[in-house]
Chains A and B, each alone.
Chain A
Amino acid sequence: MSNAKKLIIEPLRKTNPVTVLVLGICSCLAVTAQLKPALVMGASVTVVTAFSNLIISLLRKGIPSRIRIIVQLVVVATLVILIDQFLKAFAYDISKQLSVYVGLIITNCIIMGRLEAFALSHGPWESFLDGLGNGLGYSLILVIVAFFRELFGSGTLLGYQVIPQSFYEAGYQNNGLMILPPMALIVIGIVMWINNSKTETK
């Protein structure tokens, strides 16, 4: 497998930021009650991880190691605020969707984790791909968790009713627990279990 391909593929399963590195769990609880917010959050984190990785990698030779965390935080926060400002001006609807996530993106451990572990010691192109891969890995877990939570919690997917009305008439009920954060933890646990039992670790 080529290096570039490996950087994108590995974080999807083998080194998945959520199920293997166990990062970004809090945002997984917050935005997975429905599928749509999970998709928006996944896309935003992917964009920010990729570009902050790229910027930090370009700066890496000049960053003093004693203040590197602060520099990383400043870069991530600036990037997120800039994106938010542009969306507010030119794509107001998307910005309304995203407003809630802005704070969650900045504090997402995956971004800082990739900057620390990868971008500081690798070239810009590799870092960009690594950010992209990890963002996608994170999105994948969000979407899986949100799929089950929305399906069993509200009987819908992306807002469309999928569980037929006849089920409800026959006595089926939406599971209220699925909507609440504890169930997200349980679903993530199950996803983690399945993923990690099927992935070989050395």
Chain B
Amino acid sequence: MKKDINSNRYIFLYATILIIVVAVLLTVTALWLQPFQDRNAKNEKRIQILTAAGIPDVNAKNAALLFEKHCTAEFLLDENGNPTDDNGLPVFVIDRQTSVIPMQGNGLWGPIWGYLAIAADGKTIVGVAFDHKSETPGLGGEITTEKFQGQFAGKQIMENGSTLPVEFDAITGATKTSDGIKEMIDSTLEKYSAYLKKFAAKGE
């Protein structure tokens, strides 16, 4: 008996089986690989935090160890800049002096994020680390390069107790991504301003 591969019955059967096979395959793979992927994502986060804080030579292999060694405190802040137990803004303290805060924003095609490391005086940037989901390689994607991130170190973000808008050299051909970076830094500083003001008060 020869099957008619263009009969409706066959087409429905074919499509159903194909979809089930593909769905099972993808689900099994995703569940099986989930722990490995989570570990990588967590490691990546640590690498970014340490890199922003200026710890040299961080890589996937030594990130966990270095993080353990350098991260002296990790807490959440409420809206007044005081430590709280839940639902707050996270802060990572590196070597008892540098505060590293996470940032989230939007680039041209998708989310961008990163970490901002602020010195113990509460107004000087120690370093930054950016990453992105889908910016154009070679244009917006350049925000992850040393060349772009390097220019942020040493910039002042606080003056007379209020946050300053950050200024930097944008990337040619990637205006929207550069705008996104600026927006992201400014809004993050705004959110953390209560916390940063405390440093200023202490220093004076």
Interface residues, chain A, with chain B CB atoms under 8 Å away: 30-34, 36-37, 62-67, 70-71, 74, 78, 81-82, 85-86, 88-90, 92-93, 96, 99-100, 103, 150, 176, 179-180
A interface SS class: helix
Output the nearest chain B residue to A82 by Cβ-Cβ distance: B29
A64 to chain B, nearest CB (A): 5
Residue with the highest number of chain A CB atoms closer than 10 Å, among B30, B43, B173: B173
Count B interface residues, CB 8 Å.
31
Q: B141 on the interface (CB 8 Å rule)?
A: yes
Contacts A78-B26, A85-B33; A93 near B15 (Cβ below 8 A): no
B interface SS class: helix
B18 to chain A, nearest CB (A): 6
Q: Are the C-beta atoms of B14 and A34 separated by less than 8 Å?
A: no
Residues of A within 8 A of B33 (CB): 85-86, 88-89
Interface residues, chain B, with chain A CB atoms under 8 Å away: 5-6, 10-11, 14-15, 18-19, 22, 25-26, 29-30, 33, 36-37, 40, 43-44, 60, 131, 133-139, 141, 172-173
Q: How far is the CA of A32 from the CA of B138 in the complex (A)?
A: 8
Output the nearest chain A residue to B36 by Cβ-Cβ distance: A89
Q: Are the C-beta atoms of B137 and A100 separated by less than 8 Å?
A: yes
Partner of A70, one of B5, B15, B26, B133: B15
Apart from A33-B136, A82-B26, A179-B173, list 15 A-B contacts with CB within 8 A: A30-B136, A32-B138, A33-B138, A65-B6, A71-B18, A81-B26, A82-B25, A85-B29, A89-B40, A92-B40, A92-B44, A100-B137, A103-B134, A179-B138, A180-B173
Q: Are the C-beta atoms of A33 and B139 separated by less than 8 Å?
A: yes
Residues of A within 8 A of B10 (CB): 64
Output the nearest chain A residue to B10 by Cβ-Cβ distance: A64
B140 to chain A, nearest CB (A): 10
Partner of A66, one of B11, B133, B135, B172: B11
Q: Are the C-beta atoms of A100 and B40 separated by less than 8 Å?
A: no
Output the nearest chain A residue to B19 by Cβ-Cβ distance: A74
Q: Are the C-beta atoms of A78 and B25 separated by less than 8 Å?
A: yes
B114 to chain A, nearest CB (A): 14
Contacts A81-B26, A93-B60, A176-B172; A67 near B136 (Cβ below 8 A): no
A196 to chain B, nearest CB (A): 27
Residue with the highest number of chain A CB atoms closer than 10 Å, among B131, B133, B137, B173: B137
B45 to chain A, nearest CB (A): 12
Partner of A64, one of B14, B133, B137: B14
